[in-house]
């Protein structure tokens, strides 16, 4: 019963380019918008009660059992066992989605095809009812070309050798060719290779095989944007 509201969670640091690291972390998803009766989950209720005053939503200071000053959670009208914010969009976590960290050292995007993971505040997600659209976007966002566009012209915060930030307002300016306007043959191949990439990453396939498909994807995207050899050379040499 408890498993209904205990969800595996990914953090920004868990997302890599060719993989992701699930660190056995879970979220107790008692969102106020779910209107949960905590007595329906007695094991979770008893666990949360063990934190005592820490879960009070009053914003007050108090002296803990160790004699040190502690603080309760911020003041809200939510029940003591609920998260502090409503999280009315909780059902988006249960959808197929692209997950990416805000602060990153590269185009780190993970395709959660099985809708397994929730995320915390160092991650963002992109959802759609159209899985092919997500797969198409997944290949573009991870590509050398779009990474070149983003890091050289659109990034909100460049952290130099440490990386950069995938700010929403900056990502929205990135020149993505709409899927309906893309060359049909290239689009179909990108979606096929994207599905293959997602499966290989999920299976933990040896890196050489995964890189083969990524190189094929990059070449297709160069064709999609009609780049010449000189332009491709500039992009391939960028940030090496």
pLDDT, tens digit, 9 for 90 and up, residues 8-62: 999 999 999 988 999 999 999 999 999 999 999 999 999 999 998 899 888 899 9
Collapse the DSSP code of 163 into the 3-class scheme (helix H, G, I; strand E, B; otherwise coil) and give the result: coil
Give the C-alpha separation, 61 to 56, whole Å: 10
Mean residue pLDDT of the chain comes to: 91
Give the C-alpha separation, 167 to 144, whole Å: 18
pLDDT at 240 > cutoff 60: no
**Are the C-beta atoms of 100 and 117 separated by less than 8 Å?**
no
Residue 82 is given by DSSP the state: S
Residue 90's pLDDT is what?
93
Tell me the pLDDT band of 64, cut-offs 50, 70 and 90.
confident
pLDDT at 239 > cutoff 60: no
């Amino acid at each position: 019963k408890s498993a209904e509201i205990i969800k595996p969670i990914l953090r920004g640091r868990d997302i890599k380019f060719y993989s992701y690291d699930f660190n056995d972390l879970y979220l107790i998803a008692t969102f106020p918008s779910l209107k949960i009766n905590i007595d329906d989950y007695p094991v979770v209720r008893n666990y949360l009660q063990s934190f005592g005053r820490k879960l009070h939503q009053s914003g007050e200071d108090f002296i803990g059992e160790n004699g040190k000053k502690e603080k309760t959670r911020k003041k809200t009208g939510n029940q003591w066992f609920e998260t502090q914010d409503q999280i009315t969009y909780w059902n988006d976590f249960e959808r197929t989605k692209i997950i990416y960290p805000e602060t990153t050292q590269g185009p780190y995007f993970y395709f959660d095809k099985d809708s397994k993971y929730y995320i915390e505040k160092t991650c963002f997600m992109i959802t759609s009812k159209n899985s092919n659209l997500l797969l198409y976007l997944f290949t573009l966002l991870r590509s050398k070309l779009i990474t070149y566009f983003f890091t050289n012209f659109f990034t909100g915060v460049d952290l130099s050798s440490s990386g950069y930030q995938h700010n929403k307002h900056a990502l929205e300016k990135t020149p993505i060719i709409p899927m309906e306007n893309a060359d049909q043959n290239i689009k179909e191949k990108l979606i096929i290779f994207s599905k293959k990439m997602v499966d290989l990453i999920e299976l933990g396939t040896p890196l050489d095989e995964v890189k083969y498909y990524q190189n094929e994807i990059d070449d297709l995207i160069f064709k999609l944007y009609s780049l010449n050899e000189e332009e491709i050379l500039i992009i391939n040499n960028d940030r090496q």
